[in-house]
Amino acid sequence: MSYLSEGYSLRSWLTTHDHKRIGVLYMVAITAFFFLGGAAAALMRLELATPAGDVVSAETYNKLFTIHGVIMVWFFLIPSIPSVLGNFLVPLMIGARDMAFPRLNLASWYIYVLGGLFTVAALVAGGVDTGWTFYTPYSTTFSDTNVILVIVGVFVTGFSSILTGLNIVVTVHKLRAPGLTWFRLPLFVWANYATSLILLLATPVLAMTLALVALERLFHIGIFDPALGGDPLLFQHLFWFYSHPAVYIMVLPAMGVASEIIPCFARRPVFGYRFMAYAILGIASLGFLVWGHHMFVSGQSMYAGIVFSMLSFLVAIPSAIKVFNWTATLYKGSIVFGAPMLYALGFVGLFTIGGLTGLFLASLALDVHLTDTYFVIAHFHYIMVGGSVMAYLGGIHFWWPKICGRMYPEMLGRIAALTIFFGFNLTFFPQYLLGWLGMPRRYHEYPPEFQLLNLFSSAGAAVLAVGYFLPLAYLGWSLFFGKTASSNPWQATGLEWQTASPPPQHNFEQEPSVERGPYQYSVRSNEYGSQVR
């Protein structure tokens, strides 16, 4: 009996301790937030189609980009892969019956929903206009919008991240099946493990920092507002100490997804497995040392700027190792361009462009020119949307048969992947050019000479919207009418494919005994070596 047929009532879902059902609960919740955040972005692109600020007022526009950022970062991207796919797959991939703390796992979903409710309440009450970065002293003293309500929402949701991270860390350490040594772990598990360490160590810093913003706002005493004797740079240091590692919270799990899909659809073992694992840990650790590159023009010490610049360049090394190794995995492979593979290849290409433009921004002098322009917007959307969202969708397609026991329609899947890839580039590539030409971010109007590129970008956003609605439609359709999936439709090697689709409540009929590493693929025939015999 599969985990889906353990109970059909709403109650059976809302009181479940099954990591797979909790993963599905997260999927439903973050999908709702994705389209809410996307709607805000759509309105912004509509406004920016013409130079005049005619669709919304400047104040409304400020609220739109704030709510877009807050929702997409904390209510979609951060929980996307770890809380949906990580929750669903990590125990399966390591041959465990469930997470280490199943009740805590459910609690983390409720905490997420509670934080979401606060944020939606702030939206209904009139929104907030600080930007997702809550820079002081604007957020503590001047803004007259619902800052505290949103801060409470983000603060609460942070604890859901922390609890998910804690659960994954303990699960990976303690619940691996016999024979599953650290260097036999699939890279997806490595990536989620490293991400969870960041969730554990960075999120509490954000929580306390935002709490201090709220206290300063309430009592007009504090440590951030210079008028009160505080220092706004202190806020920026603390905020980015979390928010830069948060970028790696968003992209490391995406790398994990690509590392599962690419070997499977190229029928080749992943190139340089150990270096891939070390690179994940390298990115996670270096990520804690580069926050100052968000503050090159803030007035921090020039010497600090130089050190942060050099450390930021270092991140390129493990990132490049990963890109080269994915590429080398493809070499002489027997490549099938299935929908998950299209997403994964799209991820690699867009991540590379996003990463390389990150080097522009890590260069001190160049950053002075590019700070607060659309170049920055384009850069981080290439990482977060081109990278993370593409990989998330690739992962959803790849593991869809495992999650619900049905196949998605392959041709529609490929069309959607290509639509998203095209729409994404049309939306964001012009923004690199706009930023290079000097168009600043966060304005609802602009000089007429920027209109052509902005029009391309807005048209791209429309294509992207179609691309995102397609999977929502056909994946929903396939839940009821899709072809029944076999236990291992991709002939993949991981443990999660060694149990039924969808898996039974406790994942495996008997505890698997692992005998080899992941990715024992071969191009010569359809032979492949599962991790169990």
Partner 1 sequence: MSTAARSDNALFGMWAFLATEVLFFGPLFFGYVHARLAQPDAFVSGSHHMHIVLGTLNTAILMTSSLTMALAVGAARKGGPPGRWLGLTALFGLVFLGIKAAEWVMEFGEAAGAAGGEARFYFLYYAMTGLHAVHLVIGLGVVAWLWRHAKRFDAAYHTPVEAGGLYWHFVDVVWLFLYPMFYLLERYSA
- Tell whether residue 200 is a contact of partner 1 (CB under 8 A): yes
Q: How far is the CB of 231 from partner 1 (least distance, A)?
A: 6
In order of 37, 56, 88, 246, the CA distances from 74 in angstroms are 11, 25, 20, 10
- Tell whether residue 166 is a contact of partner 1 (CB under 8 A): yes
3-state secondary structure of 129: coil
Candidates 201, 330, 335, 459; binder of partner 1 (CB under 8 A) is 201
Tell me, by CB under 8 A, how many residues bind partner 1: 32
Residue 528: enclosing H or E segment and its boundaries?
A: strand 528-529
- Tell whether residue 483 is a contact of partner 1 (CB under 8 A): no
Name the residue nearer to partner 1 (CB basis): 202 or 258: 202
Candidates 215, 289, 364, 415; binder of partner 1 (CB under 8 A) is 215
Cα distance between residue 418 and residue 470, in whole Å: 11
- Tell whether residue 46 is a contact of partner 1 (CB under 8 A): no
Name the residue nearer to partner 1 (CB basis): 158 or 355: 158
Q: How far is the CB of 350 from partner 1 (least distance, A)?
A: 32
Strand partners, 76: none
Listing DSSP states for 249-313 in one string gives HHHHHHHHHHHHHHHHHHTSPPTTHHHHHHHHHHHHHHGGG-GGGG-TTTT--HHHHHHHHHHHH
- Tell whether residue 162 is a contact of partner 1 (CB under 8 A): yes
Give the chain's largest Cα–Cα span. Answer: 71
What is the Rg, in whole angstroms, of the alpha carbon atoms belonging to the chain? 23
Candidates 36, 122, 223, 434; binder of partner 1 (CB under 8 A) is 223
The residue among 377, 115, 79, 86 whose CA lies nearest residue 249 is: 79
Report DSSP state, residue 227: G
- Tell whether residue 78 is a contact of partner 1 (CB under 8 A): no
Q: Where in 224-243 is the site for partner 1 (CB under 8 A)? A: 228-231, 234, 237-238
- Tell whether residue 448 is a contact of partner 1 (CB under 8 A): no
Report DSSP state, residue 520: E
- Tell whether residue 140 is a contact of partner 1 (CB under 8 A): no
Candidates 169, 270, 342, 416; binder of partner 1 (CB under 8 A) is 169
- Tell whether residue 173 is a contact of partner 1 (CB under 8 A): yes
Candidates 204, 272, 349, 489; binder of partner 1 (CB under 8 A) is 204
Strand partners, 521: 528
3-state secondary structure of 100: coil
Q: How far is the CB of 218 from partner 1 (least distance, A)?
A: 11
- Stretch of 209-217, 276-284, 325-333, 341-349 contacting partner 1, by CB under 8 A: 209-217
Name the residue nearer to partner 1 (CB basis): 175 or 356: 175
3-state secondary structure of 457: helix
- Tell whether residue 209 is a contact of partner 1 (CB under 8 A): yes
On whether the CB atoms of residues 523 and 333 are closer than 8 A, the answer is yes
- Tell whether residue 221 is a contact of partner 1 (CB under 8 A): yes
Strand partners, 57: none
Cα distance between residue 116 and residue 118, in whole Å: 5
Q: How far is the CB of 241 from partner 1 (least distance, A)?
A: 8
Give me the helices (H) in 331-409, please.
339-362, 364-370, 374-381, 390-404
- Tell whether residue 103 is a contact of partner 1 (CB under 8 A): no
Q: How far is the CB of 215 from partner 1 (least distance, A)?
A: 7
On whether the CB atoms of residues 17 and 520 are closer than 8 A, the answer is no
Give contact residues for partner 1 (rule: CB under 8 A): 97, 100-101, 162, 166, 169-170, 173-175, 200-205, 207-209, 212, 215, 219, 221-223, 228-231, 234, 237-238
